[in-house]
Amino acid sequence: MNLRGSTLTVLAAVCALGVGGIGPAAAAPSALSGVVDIPCAAETLHQSADWYLPAGQPRGLVWVQHGFARSNTNVAALAQTLTDAGYLVFAPSLPFMNLAGCTLQNLGDNTPFLNQVAQLFTTAADSTGPLQRSLAAAAAESGRSVPAIPEELVFVGHSAGAEAVEYVAHRLRTTSPATWARLRGLVLLDAVKSFLGNNTDRALTDLDATPLPILTIAGPPSLCNSFASGTTALQTLLHRPFIGVRLPAGEHTDAEGTSSDGLGELLCGVPQTLNVSALQQLVTAWTTDFIDGTHTPGYYSDATSIADSLPAVPNVQPLHGA
- Is 0.75 surpassed by the pTM of this model? yes
Give domain 7-319's CATH architecture: 3-Layer(aba) Sandwich (3.40)
d(Cα 225, Cα 229) in Å, to the nearest integer? Answer: 7
- In sequence order, the 6+-apart residues with CB closer than 8 A to the CB of 191 are 157, 159, 162, 163, 166, 200, 216, 218, 225, 229, 230, 231, 233, 234
- The one-character DSSP state at 22 is S
Q: What is the pLDDT of residue 303?
A: 67
Instruction: Give the residue extent of every domain in the chain.
Output: 7-319
Structure confidence at residue 3 as a pLDDT band (50, 70, 90): very low
The fraction of the chain above a pLDDT of 90, given in percent, is 73
What distance lies between CA 79 and its chain's CA centroid?
10
pLDDT in tens, 266-280: 999 999 999 999 999
The Cα 163–Cα 103 span in angstroms is 12
Tell me the pLDDT tens digit for each residue of 214-234.
999 999 999 999 999 999 999
Share of the chain above pLDDT 70, in %: 90
CA angle 142, 55, 124 (to 5 degrees): 70
Give the separation between CA 162 and CA 114, rounded to whole angstroms.
12
Mean pLDDT of 243-264: 94
pLDDT in tens, 110-166: 999 999 999 999 999 999 999 999 999 999 988 888 989 999 999 999 999 999 999
